[in-house]
Structure 1
Amino acid sequence: MAVMVPLLYALDQFTKHLAVDRLTVGQPVEVIPGLLWFSLHFNPGAAFSMGTQFTVVLSVLALGVLAGLLAFAAPRVRSWLAAVGIGWLIAGVAGNLTDRLFRDPGPFLGHVVDFIAIRGFAIFNVADMCITGAAILLIIWSFRSERR
Protein backbone atom coordinates (compact mmCIF):
# COMPACT_ATOMS: atom_id res chain seq x y z
CA MET A 1 0.00 0.00 0.00
CA ALA A 2 2.86 2.38 0.78
CA VAL A 3 3.92 2.36 -2.88
CA MET A 4 0.58 1.81 -4.60
CA VAL A 5 -1.40 4.61 -2.91
CA PRO A 6 1.02 7.46 -3.77
CA LEU A 7 1.45 6.18 -7.32
CA LEU A 8 -2.30 5.96 -8.00
CA TYR A 9 -2.92 9.29 -6.29
CA ALA A 10 -0.18 10.92 -8.40
CA LEU A 11 -1.59 9.34 -11.58
CA ASP A 12 -5.04 10.74 -10.75
CA GLN A 13 -3.73 14.24 -10.06
CA PHE A 14 -1.44 14.21 -13.10
CA THR A 15 -4.21 13.13 -15.50
CA LYS A 16 -6.58 15.74 -14.03
CA HIS A 17 -3.89 18.39 -14.50
CA LEU A 18 -3.47 17.33 -18.14
CA ALA A 19 -7.24 17.35 -18.68
CA VAL A 20 -7.64 20.87 -17.26
CA ASP A 21 -4.59 22.10 -19.17
CA ARG A 22 -5.38 20.55 -22.56
CA LEU A 23 -9.14 20.07 -22.78
CA THR A 24 -11.95 22.62 -23.05
CA VAL A 25 -15.39 22.19 -21.52
CA GLY A 26 -17.89 21.41 -24.28
CA GLN A 27 -15.24 20.28 -26.78
CA PRO A 28 -14.79 16.50 -26.44
CA VAL A 29 -11.84 14.76 -28.08
CA GLU A 30 -12.67 11.38 -29.60
CA VAL A 31 -10.18 8.67 -28.59
CA ILE A 32 -11.94 5.49 -29.78
CA PRO A 33 -14.54 6.39 -32.41
CA GLY A 34 -18.08 5.96 -31.14
CA LEU A 35 -16.96 4.64 -27.74
CA LEU A 36 -14.47 6.76 -25.76
CA TRP A 37 -13.85 10.49 -25.51
CA PHE A 38 -11.87 12.86 -23.33
CA SER A 39 -14.43 15.43 -22.29
CA LEU A 40 -13.72 17.96 -19.52
CA HIS A 41 -16.36 18.37 -16.83
CA PHE A 42 -16.29 19.87 -13.35
CA ASN A 43 -18.58 17.85 -11.07
CA PRO A 44 -19.74 19.38 -7.76
CA GLY A 45 -21.70 16.23 -6.88
CA ALA A 46 -21.17 12.51 -6.49
CA ALA A 47 -21.28 9.73 -9.08
CA PHE A 48 -23.36 10.55 -12.17
CA SER A 49 -23.50 14.20 -10.92
CA MET A 50 -26.00 13.27 -8.22
CA GLY A 51 -26.19 15.46 -5.12
CA THR A 52 -24.71 18.58 -6.70
CA GLN A 53 -26.21 20.71 -3.91
CA PHE A 54 -24.40 18.65 -1.23
CA THR A 55 -20.78 19.43 -2.14
CA VAL A 56 -19.82 20.40 1.43
CA VAL A 57 -21.45 17.27 2.87
CA LEU A 58 -19.67 15.09 0.28
CA SER A 59 -16.36 16.78 1.13
CA VAL A 60 -16.78 16.22 4.88
CA LEU A 61 -17.91 12.64 4.29
CA ALA A 62 -14.86 11.95 2.08
CA LEU A 63 -12.58 13.44 4.73
CA GLY A 64 -14.13 11.14 7.37
CA VAL A 65 -13.88 8.10 5.12
CA LEU A 66 -10.24 8.83 4.34
CA ALA A 67 -9.41 9.29 8.02
CA GLY A 68 -11.20 6.03 8.88
CA LEU A 69 -9.41 4.11 6.14
CA LEU A 70 -6.01 5.39 7.25
CA ALA A 71 -6.59 5.00 10.98
CA PHE A 72 -8.62 1.79 11.18
CA ALA A 73 -8.78 -0.19 7.93
CA ALA A 74 -5.24 0.05 6.54
CA PRO A 75 -3.44 -1.00 9.75
CA ARG A 76 -5.64 -4.11 10.07
CA VAL A 77 -5.18 -5.49 6.55
CA ARG A 78 -3.97 -9.10 6.59
CA SER A 79 -4.32 -10.24 2.96
CA TRP A 80 -2.92 -9.00 -0.31
CA LEU A 81 -6.39 -8.70 -1.88
CA ALA A 82 -7.68 -6.54 0.97
CA ALA A 83 -4.47 -4.48 0.84
CA VAL A 84 -4.94 -3.75 -2.86
CA GLY A 85 -8.64 -2.96 -2.37
CA ILE A 86 -8.05 -0.65 0.60
CA GLY A 87 -5.09 0.95 -1.19
CA TRP A 88 -7.13 1.69 -4.30
CA LEU A 89 -9.92 3.06 -2.13
CA ILE A 90 -7.55 5.36 -0.23
CA ALA A 91 -6.01 6.65 -3.47
CA GLY A 92 -9.41 7.24 -5.08
CA VAL A 93 -10.98 8.98 -2.11
CA ALA A 94 -7.86 11.12 -1.61
CA GLY A 95 -7.78 12.07 -5.30
CA ASN A 96 -11.35 13.32 -5.43
CA LEU A 97 -11.08 14.90 -1.97
CA THR A 98 -8.08 16.90 -3.17
CA ASP A 99 -10.29 18.39 -5.90
CA ARG A 100 -13.04 19.21 -3.39
CA LEU A 101 -10.57 20.93 -1.07
CA PHE A 102 -8.36 22.80 -3.55
CA ARG A 103 -10.30 23.49 -6.75
CA ASP A 104 -12.73 26.29 -7.51
CA PRO A 105 -15.01 27.55 -6.18
CA GLY A 106 -13.13 27.00 -2.88
CA PRO A 107 -12.36 24.69 0.05
CA PHE A 108 -15.03 22.01 0.62
CA LEU A 109 -16.89 23.41 -2.42
CA GLY A 110 -14.42 22.38 -5.13
CA HIS A 111 -15.60 20.55 -8.20
CA VAL A 112 -14.10 17.17 -9.12
CA VAL A 113 -12.43 17.01 -12.54
CA ASP A 114 -13.99 14.30 -14.71
CA PHE A 115 -12.72 13.75 -18.24
CA ILE A 116 -13.03 10.11 -19.39
CA ALA A 117 -16.33 9.63 -21.19
CA ILE A 118 -17.72 6.30 -22.34
CA ARG A 119 -20.67 6.37 -24.73
CA GLY A 120 -23.95 5.70 -22.95
CA PHE A 121 -22.31 5.37 -19.54
CA ALA A 122 -20.63 8.14 -17.56
CA ILE A 123 -17.83 10.66 -17.36
CA PHE A 124 -15.24 9.83 -14.69
CA ASN A 125 -11.57 10.04 -13.71
CA VAL A 126 -8.74 7.83 -12.43
CA ALA A 127 -9.85 8.27 -8.80
CA ASP A 128 -13.32 7.00 -9.73
CA MET A 129 -11.74 3.97 -11.40
CA CYS A 130 -9.76 3.29 -8.21
CA ILE A 131 -12.90 3.52 -6.06
CA THR A 132 -14.89 1.25 -8.38
CA GLY A 133 -12.03 -1.25 -8.64
CA ALA A 134 -11.68 -1.21 -4.84
CA ALA A 135 -15.36 -1.99 -4.40
CA ILE A 136 -15.07 -4.98 -6.73
CA LEU A 137 -11.90 -6.27 -5.04
CA LEU A 138 -13.33 -5.86 -1.54
CA ILE A 139 -16.49 -7.74 -2.51
CA ILE A 140 -14.34 -10.58 -3.89
CA TRP A 141 -12.19 -10.46 -0.73
CA SER A 142 -15.28 -10.65 1.50
CA PHE A 143 -16.55 -13.75 -0.32
CA ARG A 144 -13.13 -15.40 -0.18
CA SER A 145 -12.71 -14.67 3.52
CA GLU A 146 -16.26 -15.94 4.22
CA ARG A 147 -15.26 -19.37 2.92
CA ARG A 148 -12.33 -19.52 5.30
Structure 2
Amino acid sequence: MVARPPPTTLPSRGALLSEHVDPADDASGGSSAVAPPHPLRTRLLLSLAATVLVLDLVTKLVVVATIEPGEDIRTLGGALYLTQLRNTGAAFSFAEGFTVLFTLVAAVVTVVIVRTARRLRSTGWAVALGLVLGGALGNLIDRIFRDPGFLRGGVVDFLSVFGPDGSVFPVFNVADSAIVCGGILGVLLAIRGVEFDGTRSGADERAGTA
Protein backbone atom coordinates (compact mmCIF):
# COMPACT_ATOMS: atom_id res chain seq x y z
CA MET A 1 0.00 0.00 0.00
CA VAL A 2 1.26 3.46 -0.92
CA ALA A 3 1.12 6.04 1.91
CA ARG A 4 -0.75 9.17 0.99
CA PRO A 5 0.60 12.61 2.03
CA PRO A 6 -1.43 14.43 4.69
CA PRO A 7 -4.05 16.79 3.29
CA THR A 8 -2.98 20.39 2.86
CA THR A 9 -5.07 22.91 4.77
CA LEU A 10 -5.46 26.20 2.92
CA PRO A 11 -5.44 29.34 5.07
CA SER A 12 -8.74 31.14 5.32
CA ARG A 13 -9.32 34.51 3.70
CA GLY A 14 -9.49 36.16 7.16
CA ALA A 15 -6.13 34.73 8.15
CA LEU A 16 -4.55 36.01 4.96
CA LEU A 17 -5.96 39.48 5.59
CA SER A 18 -4.80 39.47 9.22
CA GLU A 19 -1.27 38.50 8.21
CA HIS A 20 -1.02 41.17 5.52
CA VAL A 21 1.13 44.10 6.60
CA ASP A 22 0.80 47.40 4.83
CA PRO A 23 4.24 48.66 3.70
CA ALA A 24 3.58 52.12 5.03
CA ASP A 25 2.62 50.73 8.45
CA ASP A 26 5.63 48.41 8.51
CA ALA A 27 8.04 51.23 7.73
CA SER A 28 6.64 53.51 10.41
CA GLY A 29 6.26 50.82 13.07
CA GLY A 30 2.47 51.21 13.17
CA SER A 31 -0.44 53.00 11.57
CA SER A 32 0.44 56.30 9.92
CA ALA A 33 -2.90 57.88 10.93
CA VAL A 34 -2.83 58.89 14.60
CA ALA A 35 -6.14 59.98 16.11
CA PRO A 36 -6.01 63.36 17.89
CA PRO A 37 -6.34 63.28 21.70
CA HIS A 38 -9.57 65.30 21.59
CA PRO A 39 -12.10 65.95 18.81
CA LEU A 40 -12.51 69.42 17.39
CA ARG A 41 -14.93 71.64 19.30
CA THR A 42 -15.53 74.15 16.51
CA ARG A 43 -19.18 73.18 16.12
CA LEU A 44 -19.81 73.63 19.86
CA LEU A 45 -18.20 77.08 19.83
CA LEU A 46 -20.17 78.28 16.80
CA SER A 47 -23.47 76.79 18.02
CA LEU A 48 -23.15 78.49 21.40
CA ALA A 49 -22.16 81.78 19.79
CA ALA A 50 -25.17 81.61 17.46
CA THR A 51 -27.49 80.88 20.40
CA VAL A 52 -26.19 83.85 22.38
CA LEU A 53 -26.42 86.11 19.33
CA VAL A 54 -30.01 85.17 18.52
CA LEU A 55 -31.11 85.53 22.15
CA ASP A 56 -29.40 88.92 22.40
CA LEU A 57 -30.91 90.25 19.17
CA VAL A 58 -34.43 89.00 19.95
CA THR A 59 -34.47 90.47 23.47
CA LYS A 60 -33.20 93.83 22.19
CA LEU A 61 -35.86 93.94 19.47
CA VAL A 62 -38.60 93.17 22.02
CA VAL A 63 -37.30 95.83 24.42
CA VAL A 64 -37.10 98.52 21.73
CA ALA A 65 -40.61 97.67 20.53
CA THR A 66 -42.30 97.51 23.95
CA ILE A 67 -40.39 99.72 26.42
CA GLU A 68 -39.98 103.46 26.04
CA PRO A 69 -36.51 104.96 26.65
CA GLY A 70 -36.11 105.72 30.35
CA GLU A 71 -39.17 103.65 31.36
CA ASP A 72 -38.69 101.22 34.25
CA ILE A 73 -40.69 98.02 34.68
CA ARG A 74 -40.40 96.44 38.13
CA THR A 75 -40.22 92.62 38.16
CA LEU A 76 -39.29 89.84 40.60
CA GLY A 77 -40.28 91.95 43.59
CA GLY A 78 -37.77 94.67 42.71
CA ALA A 79 -34.83 92.34 42.16
CA LEU A 80 -34.90 93.13 38.44
CA TYR A 81 -36.03 96.17 36.48
CA LEU A 82 -36.56 96.25 32.71
CA THR A 83 -35.66 99.51 31.04
CA GLN A 84 -34.20 100.83 27.78
CA LEU A 85 -30.91 102.67 27.72
CA ARG A 86 -28.37 103.25 24.95
CA ASN A 87 -24.76 102.55 25.85
CA THR A 88 -21.92 103.98 23.78
CA GLY A 89 -19.22 102.45 25.97
CA ALA A 90 -18.09 98.93 26.77
CA ALA A 91 -19.97 96.28 28.74
CA PHE A 92 -21.98 97.61 31.69
CA SER A 93 -21.70 101.20 30.34
CA PHE A 94 -17.97 101.35 31.03
CA ALA A 95 -15.90 104.11 29.35
CA GLU A 96 -18.64 105.75 27.33
CA GLY A 97 -17.37 107.98 24.54
CA PHE A 98 -14.98 105.41 23.05
CA THR A 99 -17.56 103.76 20.81
CA VAL A 100 -15.40 103.50 17.69
CA LEU A 101 -12.51 102.01 19.67
CA PHE A 102 -14.72 99.37 21.28
CA THR A 103 -16.26 98.58 17.90
CA LEU A 104 -12.85 97.90 16.39
CA VAL A 105 -11.81 95.83 19.42
CA ALA A 106 -14.98 93.73 19.10
CA ALA A 107 -14.25 93.16 15.41
CA VAL A 108 -10.66 92.07 16.15
CA VAL A 109 -11.82 89.74 18.94
CA THR A 110 -14.33 88.15 16.56
CA VAL A 111 -11.68 87.47 13.92
CA VAL A 112 -9.22 86.04 16.46
CA ILE A 113 -11.81 83.68 17.96
CA VAL A 114 -12.92 82.43 14.54
CA ARG A 115 -9.30 81.70 13.58
CA THR A 116 -8.69 79.96 16.91
CA ALA A 117 -11.72 77.73 16.38
CA ARG A 118 -9.85 75.76 13.69
CA ARG A 119 -7.55 74.18 16.30
CA LEU A 120 -9.84 74.15 19.32
CA ARG A 121 -10.17 70.79 21.10
CA SER A 122 -11.04 71.87 24.65
CA THR A 123 -14.71 71.81 25.65
CA GLY A 124 -14.15 74.44 28.32
CA TRP A 125 -12.46 76.83 25.91
CA ALA A 126 -15.16 76.18 23.31
CA VAL A 127 -17.80 77.30 25.82
CA ALA A 128 -15.78 80.32 26.97
CA LEU A 129 -14.96 81.54 23.46
CA GLY A 130 -18.47 80.78 22.22
CA LEU A 131 -19.95 83.02 24.92
CA VAL A 132 -17.49 85.82 24.17
CA LEU A 133 -17.98 85.53 20.40
CA GLY A 134 -21.78 85.60 20.62
CA GLY A 135 -21.74 88.57 22.99
CA ALA A 136 -19.19 90.49 20.93
CA LEU A 137 -21.22 89.98 17.74
CA GLY A 138 -24.45 91.03 19.47
CA ASN A 139 -23.06 94.36 20.65
CA LEU A 140 -21.09 94.83 17.42
CA ILE A 141 -24.31 94.69 15.38
CA ASP A 142 -25.77 97.45 17.55
CA ARG A 143 -22.68 99.63 17.08
CA ILE A 144 -22.84 99.21 13.32
CA PHE A 145 -26.56 99.60 12.62
CA ARG A 146 -28.08 101.69 15.42
CA ASP A 147 -28.11 105.47 15.87
CA PRO A 148 -26.27 107.77 15.89
CA GLY A 149 -24.35 106.14 13.03
CA PHE A 150 -21.97 103.55 11.62
CA LEU A 151 -19.46 102.27 14.23
CA ARG A 152 -20.91 104.75 16.75
CA GLY A 153 -24.28 103.16 17.47
CA GLY A 154 -25.58 102.90 21.00
CA VAL A 155 -25.92 99.38 22.38
CA VAL A 156 -29.36 98.58 23.82
CA ASP A 157 -29.08 97.81 27.55
CA PHE A 158 -32.21 96.81 29.45
CA LEU A 159 -31.42 94.77 32.60
CA SER A 160 -31.07 96.64 35.89
CA VAL A 161 -30.71 94.59 39.08
CA PHE A 162 -31.75 95.64 42.62
CA GLY A 163 -32.77 99.11 41.50
CA PRO A 164 -34.03 101.12 38.49
CA ASP A 165 -31.79 102.87 35.94
CA GLY A 166 -28.60 101.20 37.16
CA SER A 167 -28.71 102.88 40.57
CA VAL A 168 -27.21 99.78 42.23
CA PHE A 169 -25.45 98.02 39.35
CA PRO A 170 -24.82 99.20 35.75
CA VAL A 171 -27.53 98.35 33.24
CA PHE A 172 -26.56 95.48 30.92
CA ASN A 173 -27.91 93.07 28.32
CA VAL A 174 -27.60 89.41 27.28
CA ALA A 175 -24.43 90.06 25.28
CA ASP A 176 -22.72 91.73 28.24
CA SER A 177 -23.59 88.78 30.48
CA ALA A 178 -22.21 86.29 27.95
CA ILE A 179 -18.96 88.23 27.53
CA VAL A 180 -18.37 88.45 31.28
CA CYS A 181 -19.23 84.78 31.92
CA GLY A 182 -17.01 83.67 29.03
CA GLY A 183 -14.17 85.86 30.26
CA ILE A 184 -14.38 84.47 33.81
CA LEU A 185 -14.41 80.90 32.48
CA GLY A 186 -11.41 81.67 30.27
CA VAL A 187 -9.44 83.01 33.25
CA LEU A 188 -10.23 79.89 35.28
CA LEU A 189 -9.12 77.63 32.41
CA ALA A 190 -5.89 79.60 32.00
CA ILE A 191 -5.16 79.36 35.74
CA ARG A 192 -5.65 75.59 35.57
CA GLY A 193 -3.26 75.38 32.63
CA VAL A 194 -5.83 74.09 30.12
CA GLU A 195 -4.69 74.71 26.55
CA PHE A 196 -6.87 75.22 23.46
CA ASP A 197 -6.02 71.71 22.27
CA GLY A 198 -7.34 70.13 25.49
CA THR A 199 -3.93 69.39 27.02
CA ARG A 200 -2.54 70.81 30.24
CA SER A 201 0.63 72.84 30.52
CA GLY A 202 3.22 73.37 33.24
CA ALA A 203 2.92 71.62 36.57
CA ASP A 204 -0.47 70.10 35.75
CA GLU A 205 0.95 68.37 32.67
CA ARG A 206 3.95 67.01 34.59
CA ALA A 207 1.71 65.75 37.36
CA GLY A 208 -0.50 64.00 34.85
CA THR A 209 2.44 62.16 33.29
CA ALA A 210 4.03 61.19 36.63
TM range (shorter): over 0.9
Q: Unpaired segments of 5 or more residues in structure 1? A: none
Q: Matches of 1:138 and 1:57 in 2, distance apart?
A: 23
Structure 1 partner of 2:134: 91
Q: Matches of 1:77 and 1:25 in 2, distance apart?
A: 41
Structure 2 partner of 1:135: 183
Structure 2 partner of 1:67: 111
Residues 65-124 of structure 1 show CA distances to partners (whole Å, capped at 9, x for unaligned) of: 1111112x2223221000000111100100000100011111101000000111211210
The runs of at least 4 aligned residues of structure 1 exceeding 4 Å deviation read: none
Q: Percent identity?
A: 35
The answer to which structure has the higher strand fraction is 1
Q: Matches of 2:156 and 2:183 in 1, distance apart?
A: 21
Offset at residue 4 of structure 1 (A): 1.6
Q: Matches of 1:37 and 1:84 in 2, distance apart?
A: 28
Map residues 1-148 of structure 1 onto 2, 5 A cutoff: 1-71=45-115, 73-119=116-162, 120-144=168-192, 145=194, 146=201, 147-148=204-205
Q: Is the 8 A contact 2:106 2:140 kept in 1?
A: yes
Q: How many residues align?
A: 147
Q: Matches of 2:91 and 2:56 in 1, distance apart?
A: 16
TM-score by length of 2: 0.66
The answer to which structure has the higher helix fraction is 1
Offset at residue 49 of structure 1 (A): 2.3
Q: Unpaired segments of 5 or more residues in structure 2? A: 1-44, 163-167, 195-200, 206-210
SS of the residue corresponding to residue 2 of structure 1 reads helix
Greater C-alpha Rg: 2
Offset at residue 48 of structure 1 (A): 3.6
Letter in 2 for 1:106: G
TM-score by length of 1: 0.92
Q: Matches of 2:101 and 2:47 in 1, distance apart?
A: 30
Letter in 2 for 1:131: I
The CA RMSD measured in Å over matched residues stands at: 1.3
SS of the residue corresponding to residue 83 of structure 2 reads strand
Q: Is the 8 A contact 2:160 2:171 kept in 1?
A: yes
Q: How has the CA–CA distance of structure 1 residues 3 and 50 changed in structure 2, closer, same or farther, with 3 Å as cutoff?
A: closer
Identify which of structures 1 and 2 has the higher relative contact order when contacts are C-alpha pairs closer than 8 Å and 6+ apart.
1
Q: How has the CA–CA distance of structure 1 residues 83 and 48 changed in structure 2, closer, same or farther, with 3 Å as cutoff?
A: closer
Q: Matches of 1:2 and 1:58 in 2, distance apart?
A: 22
Letter in 2 for 1:90: L
